[in-house]
Amino acid sequence: MKLELTPQQNQARSEFKAFVDEVIVPDANRCDREEHTPPELIEKLAQQGYLGAGLPKDRGGTGMDMITYGLLNEEIGRGCSSLRSLLTVHNMVAQALFKWGNTFQKENWLPKLASGEVIAAFALSEPNVGSDAKSIETTATRSGDFYVLNGQKKWMTYGQIADVFLVFAQNDGKPSVFLVEKNRPGLTIKPIFGMLGVRGSMLAELHLHDCKIPSENLLCRQGFGFSHVASSALDYGRYSVAWGCVGIAQACLDACLQYTSQRQQFGVYLKEHQLIRQMITEMLVNVKAARLLCYQAGYLKDNGDPKSIMETSIAKYFASTTATKAANDAVQIHGGNGCSREYSVQRYWRDAKIMEIIEGSTQIQQITIAEYGYQEHLFPRNRPVMSQELMARI
């Protein structure tokens, strides 16, 4: 199969790149230092329609195909991983509502999410629950026409500024999911600072103490919170992160090509040293390989192929480890300058490490991918897609 972007996809990629270079790159290091994303930057993202990228036009979105959406994530990830994280979680919530919401929920929330009038956050992780997401401890108890939520959520990307949260809780022992507006009594939002990477993503903790929400805020059916809503949303988010990792790796490559062409040591430019060329070669090849894996996952998603779930995990695993390796080499190539905040490669290094943890850690991906390989080996004719047990690991 010859992989070739359509003219529309090529045009979109050029537009994404120009927007990132002009609007995002100049502010990226400041966002990192200040651990804050300026509201005007988010507004510009919304004005471009990027916050509604995954929604169809009749829901207020731009109706991007998955390849184009991936290209958008790569470019924004190249400029600023923190801002790309907003694109991820916001669209995860939008996709969950589009796929599993009822008519009222869709009509009420989707246009607001697509326009950026409302910012959404994904509230799944907890202090005691990470990869084993189905074991969430937050509870939801039915009380007449309301649900009462109690528990704590942690590591909520852009939780400091979100207007609505998609909160996962145990409802009579069945994982369920609820829409919780930020102004609900009993909900307290606590900012998190001092993170290693993606410092501009304005993380927060949610504390739910007898937080009362109307029964119509239940999304999908009781007990379907993880098996349906979380699994599909996390797959969508994992795809976004994979492409964002390609963006980080590309940024590292660009920085190193420029630096080694200008910096001299021992009377010659760095690029003339063989070991530098070896590092550049590995970086370039791995970036291209990671991008091709993301193309494959996006192609399968656009065609509705269920194998896209595992292909997305493979792409995320390879792209995130590639980003970490590329960033590590980029700092090494820059030497002392690579450890200075005056150079962006130190930010790429810190951000890349986060990518190996979120949306399924490297180790979880190794477990699921290897298990999938054994399933294929044992049942080659049936070509298994991905078992519920594998999907339960994030």
List the catalytic residues.
359
Rg of the chain, C-alpha, whole Å: 21
Supply the DSSP symbol for 163.
S
SS3 content of the chain, % helix, strand, coil (to 5): 60, 15, 25
Q: Is 111 exposed, middle or buried (0-12, 13-18, 19+ CB in 10 A)?
A: middle
Task: Identify which of 132, 90, 123 has the alpha carbon closest to the alpha carbon of residue 240.
Answer: 90
Segment holding 329, helix H or strand E? helix 308-334
- For residues 291, 292, 293, 296, the Cα torsion angle rounded to the nearest 10 degrees is 120
Residue 139 to residue 168: CA distance in whole angstroms: 9
**CA atoms 392, 195, 31, 332: torsion sign:** negative
Tokens at residue 336, please? 């002392």
Residue 350 to residue 15: CA distance in whole angstroms: 27
Phi and psi torsions of 320, nearest 5°:
-70, -40
DSSP code per residue over 263-281? -EETTEEGGGSHHHHHHHH
Contact criterion met (CB below 8 Å) for 316 and 309: no
Other Cβ atoms less than 10 A from the Cβ of 375: the count is 18
Residue 182 to residue 173: CA distance in whole angstroms: 25
Segment holding 141, helix H or strand E? strand 139-143
Type of residue at 233 = A
Query: For residue 271, what are the CA distances in angstroms to 78, 226, 267, 331, 336?
Result: 23, 50, 12, 15, 17
Contact criterion met (CB below 8 Å) for 324 and 303: no
